[in-house]
């Protein structure tokens, strides 16, 4: 009976492309005793090949990031990068963030530079052309002067529009002078230049350069969050050309709604050496399947209702139906691997569900383990970790700040002291 069952399972996998049928044929042609033995071998082999559909985080089940669509297990960096990564990106585009804008048909960089003493300030007007017209947005870049090149560059997606031209400006949200004083370059793009954060005008930035303005967007087209992420990649296009910047040491950072965009940008664009998402909550760092997390956190239904211009129409299918999503946010974080993933939460930020952000971070470690980089820096995978402390592994960083929603000086202290642009080497052979 067991050999017959093995043949049936094997035939089923063959029908879905999961197993080569000649192995089964060989078992069927062997003598009766050998057939049973061969059937046992097939069952054992299948057990090794197939992956569990779910993993457990915080006592609940979530999709297994290391399970291919055919049911087989991801067992190497190669199968992750060549197969599973593309599967997950396709699912996130189809079901969550929408299809990204294509590359511009033409792109230009108009740079103006001023020397303010300790810092060189550059304003870069990035011109982009699509099939429906041309437009532009600005990148502000602050580069510290000195004998050594910058230690790295933080590229901020700024939805507040609060970063000006003064290199001496400082705030908890964007402490420009503190960042450059620590030896880092700081770059910033205004999210509203790319897609105004308004349900009536969000298309007026770059979206209408690629979609006819008189027509509704396709249901699966990315909206504002996707456009902000797209803009970060276009800014990276410029940073790769700037002689003062090391393009291998650029991290994309965002807070709250911009933290959703920075995570999506970093998941897609592997040029970002570090991906920092701060208090990003629903459809950012928070696990969707936790719903309101028992703390009144923002859910898929609430975010789609409150901000209908952030995500595509297709995402609304999961309003109050998160369990039907084929993906969850720990898998989005996993798409950053093996680059540096940085997650910042806050104890009193109930709307973002800090526990849900923490559990997603823990879940992402399974992907990093493929590279020998699964150490999260946490003493335990149980909630809650020690607060106001930087937890740093070789490629993953997390902290839980005391207080409420915000990007503060305490957060920046963690990021600036975190050595985010270097990590321990992976074991030999990886």
Token pair, residue 121, equals 């300030």
The reply to whether 79 belongs to the active site is: no
Q: Three-class SS of residue 79?
A: helix
C-alpha distances in angstroms, 258 versus 159, 189, 245, 285, 414?
Answer: 6, 11, 23, 12, 19
* Spatial CA neighbour of 97 closest among 256, 249, 248, 268: 268
Provide φ and ψ at 313, rounded to 5°. Answer: -60, -35
Transcribe 147-215 into DSSP letters.
SS--S-EEEEEESS----S-TT---SS--HHHHHHTT-EEEEEEHHHHS-SSTTTGGGTTGGGTS-TTS
Q: Is residue 330 annotated as part of the catalytic site, yes or no?
A: no
Report the C-alpha gap between 26 and 3 in whole angstroms: 13
Question: Looking at residue 407, what DSSP letter applies?
Answer: -
User: Would you state the structure tokens that stand for residue 421, as one six-digit string?
Assistant: 């642009």
Report the C-alpha gap between 393 and 429 in whole angstroms. 20
Distances in Å between the alpha carbon of 123 and those of 169, 173, 319, 377? 16, 20, 41, 38
The one catalytic residue among 100, 233, 256, 258: 256
Tokens of 395: 């490629």
The strand pairing partners of 107, in sequence order, are 128
Q: Is 171 exposed, middle or buried (0-12, 13-18, 19+ CB in 10 A)?
A: middle
- The region that residue 234 occupies, defined by phi over 0 for left and psi between -120 and 50 for alpha, beta otherwise, is alpha
Provide the token pair at 282.
Answer: 């629903």
Closest CA to 264 of 217, 228, 300, 218: 228
Q: Is 89 exposed, middle or buried (0-12, 13-18, 19+ CB in 10 A)?
A: middle
Contacts of residue 307, defined as CB under 8 A and 6 or more positions apart, other chains included, come to 199, 224, 257
Residue pair 152/185 in contact (Cβ under 8 Å)? The answer is yes
Check 95, 255, 399, 405 and give the catalytic one: 405
Q: Which residues contact 105 (CB under 8 A, 6 or more apart)?
A: 129, 130, 131
Catalytically active residues are: 256, 405
């Amino acid at each position: 009976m067991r050999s017959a069952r093995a043949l049936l399972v094997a035939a089923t996998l063959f029908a879905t492309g999961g197993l080569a049928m000649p192995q089964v044929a060989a078992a069927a042609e062997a003598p009766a005793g050998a057939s049973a033995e061969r059937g046992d071998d097939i069952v054992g082999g299948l057990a090794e090949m197939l992956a569990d559909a779910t993993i457990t985080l915080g006592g609940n089940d979530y999709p297994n990031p290391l399970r291919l669509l055919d049911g087989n297990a991801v067992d190497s960096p190669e199968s992750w990068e060549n197969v599973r990564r593309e599967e997950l990106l396709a699912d996130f585009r189809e079901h969550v963030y929408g299809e990204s804008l294509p590359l511009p048909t033409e792109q230009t960089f108009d740079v103006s530079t001023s020397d303010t003493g300790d810092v060189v300030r550059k304003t870069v007007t990035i011109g982009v052309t699509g099939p429906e017209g041309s437009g532009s947005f600005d990148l502000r870049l602050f580069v510290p002067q000195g004998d050594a090149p910058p230690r790295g560059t933080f590229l901020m997606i700024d939805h507040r529009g609060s970063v000006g031209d003064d290199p001496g400006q400082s705030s908890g949200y964007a402490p420009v002078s503190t960042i450059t004083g620590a030896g880092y370059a700081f770059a910033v793009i205004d999210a509203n230049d790319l897609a105004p954060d308004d349900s009536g005008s969000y298309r007026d930035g770059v979206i209408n350069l690629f979609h006819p303005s008189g027509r509704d967007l396709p249901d699966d087209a990315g909206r504002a969050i996707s456009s902000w992420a797209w803009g970060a990649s276009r800014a990276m296009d410029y940073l790769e050309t700037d002689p003062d910047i090391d393009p291998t040491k650029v991290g994309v950072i965002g807070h709250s709604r911009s933290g959703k965009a920075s995570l999506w940008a970093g998941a897609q664009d592997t040029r970002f050496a570090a991906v920092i998402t701060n208090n990003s909550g629903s459809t950012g760092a928070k696990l969707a399947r936790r719903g309101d997390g028992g703390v009144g956190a923002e859910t898929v239904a609430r975010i789609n209702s409150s901000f209908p211009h952030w995500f595509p129409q297709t995402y609304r299918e999961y309003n109050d139906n998160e369990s039907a999503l084929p993906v969850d946010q720990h898998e989005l974080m996993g798409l950053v691997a093996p680059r540096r993933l940085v997650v910042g939460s806050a104890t009193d930020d109930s709307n973002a569900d800090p526990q849900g952000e923490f559990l997603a971070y823990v879940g992402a470690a399974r992907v990093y383990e493929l590279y020998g980089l699964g150490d999260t820096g946490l003493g335990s995978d149980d909630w809650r970790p020690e607060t106001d402390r930087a937890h740093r592994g070789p490629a993953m960083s997390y902290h839980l700040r005391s207080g409420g929603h915000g990007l503060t000086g305490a957060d920046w202290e963690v990021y600036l002291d975190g050595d985010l642009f270097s990590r321990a080497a992976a074991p030999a052979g990886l």
